[in-house]
Amino acid sequence: MRGDFHYYATYCAALLAGYSSRESCDICYAAQLPDFATVTFLDRLHAPRAAATTQSPIELADVRTDRLGLQDITRIWSSFHFLPYDLTADPGKGGKTYRRKYQLICKPNGELLRHTVELARGRGLEATGLAMHVLADTWAHQNFAGTPSLVINNTTAYFYELIGPRENPERRRIEFHRNPAGGDDLDLSSYVNSVYQPSESSIMNLGHGRAGHLPDYSFARYVYLPAWANYDEVVKDNPSDYWHAFTQMVYAMRCLRTGEPFELNRYATDEVAEVRELAWDILTKRRLDASDDWCALGEQLSGEKVEPFDLELHQQEYCEAEGQAKNDTYLGRFIRAALAQKGMVTSRIYDSGSRLAGFSIDHEPRNLGTLVAFLKRACQKEGAHD
């Protein structure tokens, strides 16, 4: 998903969930920020690196794909962009390592999503926005895992875009190329994807890299063969998935606002009825960026101007705050929410018996180094920065 959905569509969803325009702005900002909070970004703010929610291409190019590097990548991408659906899933084939990677495949309405939304409860609008990013990505990024893995994330040349009427679409062969400067050409169904790398843990096999940005475009409908699916053709219907994501976001935010418990497979169909036609038009229109239309819908709903996403917006406030006061700034609360989310997902993966995401500090209390670090932080206030 891109800024059009994470920022503007989340703004619309927050309004429909009953938040004010001001609150909705704070929520959608935090929903967009996980795509920018890299280690480089955090370094610039002197913020804790452990709170990184993404990795830039340049960071990924530098990262070592040894065990530690892979665990770091898995913590980031599984926690914020490819939330695992079922950590107990049994593929019925392959060894233990294969099974562990298979269990990280992202799909909507997994148990971890419920934990994600509940974790955001009472932690402020920043945590709500962050949870909405994770929720939305479970729809867009489904069928891929947030860990570099050829056997899970690879795809073949068998890729066809479904164009035209939903009942009887035309199948058009998708051509992939590896020149980022060339960009995506919708008229020719020509898209950029990552280079095929036969190495299991190559960074090129992280997430949906092999499928390019197709999962990120709301209009895209296509069929392909995921590496793990036994040559079964999978149909990816993005307009439908994005619509589900939108209605589930409204429902989740309503739950967080009113205190109602969040349940899986529930959608706020009533609240979104008034915008259904408009939103569906936005979702199905073929273009690379739908920001303008989502922004217009948001402004129509709130009657107020929506400022575009500005990465610099809250940085000064964070940098000028001293010590523990940083925790009370917008970015401070976002960082706390990111640490909580990452810790929760890492712990769940660890509890499932997998070591692919490493382990959290409370799982190794007898180790002297981590014990000292743990005690040091325990003496500080909750959420003290690393």
Partner 1 sequence: MTKMQRLREIIAGLLMLLCAALIMLDPEDGYITVTVILSVSLLVFGVRWLVYYLTMARHMVNGRWSFYTAAFLIDLGIFTGSLTDVPRAYVMIYLIAVNGFSALVSLLRVREIRSLGSSRWRFVLAQGITGVIMTIACIVFYRSISTVTLVFGIGLAYSACVRIAQALRRTAIVYIPS
Residues for the chain: how many in total? 386
Nearest to 189 by CA among 206, 203, 169: 169
Residue 119 as a binder of partner 1 (CB under 8 A): the answer is yes
Angle at 229 between CA 226 and CA 230, to 5 degrees: 120
Name the residue with tokens 């008034």: 274
Residue 336 as a binder of partner 1 (CB under 8 A): the answer is yes
In the complex, minimum distance from the CB of residue 125 to partner 1, in angstroms, rounded to a whole number: 17
- Kindly list the distances between the CA atom of residue 179 and the CA atoms of 60, 184, 191, in Å, as whole numbers in the listed order: 17, 10, 9
Residue 364 as a binder of partner 1 (CB under 8 A): the answer is yes
Nearest to 290 by CA among 242, 241, 224: 242
Tokens found for residue 316? 């000064």
Residue 65 as a binder of partner 1 (CB under 8 A): the answer is no
Size of the site for partner 1 (CB under 8 A): 62
Q: Which stretch binds partner 1 (CB under 8 A): 12-20, 211-219, 237-245, 332-340?
A: 332-340
Nearer to partner 1, 118 or 304 (CB): 118
Residue 180 as a binder of partner 1 (CB under 8 A): the answer is no
Kindly report the three-state secondary structure assignment for every residue of 208-237: CHHHCCHHHCCCCEEEEEECCCCCCCEEEE
Q: In this structure, what are the phi and psi dihedrals at residue 155, rounded to the nearest 5 degrees?
A: -135, 170
Long-range contacts of 277-280, Cβ-Cβ distance < 8 Å, separation of 24 or more: 279/9, 279/12, 279/243, 279/246, 280/239, 280/243
Q: Which stretch binds partner 1 (CB under 8 A): 27-35, 235-243, 246-254, 367-375?
A: 367-375
Residue 192 as a binder of partner 1 (CB under 8 A): the answer is no
Nearer to partner 1, 281 or 328 (CB): 328
Residues 3-62 touching partner 1, rule: CB under 8 A, are 39-40, 43-44, 48, 50, 56, 58, 61-62
- For residues 204 to 243, the per-residue mask of contacts with partner 1, x marking binding by CB under 8 A and - elsewhere, is ---------------------xxxxxxx------------
DSSP annotation of 260: P
Nearer to partner 1, 96 or 305 (CB): 96
Q: Give CA–CA dist 366/347, Å, rounded.
A: 17
> Which of 20, 22, 64, 325 forms a contact with partner 1 (CB under 8 A)?
64
- For residues 84 to 103, the per-residue mask of contacts with partner 1, x marking binding by CB under 8 A and - elsewhere, is -------x-xxx-xx--x--
> Which of 18, 124, 169, 358 forms a contact with partner 1 (CB under 8 A)?
358
Q: What is the DSSP string of 28-60?
A: HHHHHGGGT--HHHHHHHT--GGG-----HHHH
Cβ proximity of 208 and 230 under 8 Å: no
Cβ proximity of 187 and 169 under 8 Å: no
Residue 289 as a binder of partner 1 (CB under 8 A): the answer is no
Residue 328 as a binder of partner 1 (CB under 8 A): the answer is no
In the complex, minimum distance from the CB of residue 107 to partner 1, in angstroms, rounded to a whole number: 19
What is the CB-side half-sphere exposure of residue 33 using CA atoms within 13 A? Answer: 32
Residue 355 as a binder of partner 1 (CB under 8 A): the answer is yes
Distance of CA 266 to the CA centre of its chain: 20
**Contact residues for partner 1 (CB under 8 A)?**
39-40, 43-44, 48, 50, 56, 58, 61-62, 64, 66-68, 71, 75, 91, 93-95, 97-98, 101, 119, 150-151, 154-156, 198, 200, 225-231, 336, 339-340, 342-344, 346-347, 355, 358-364, 367, 369-370, 373, 377, 382-383, 386
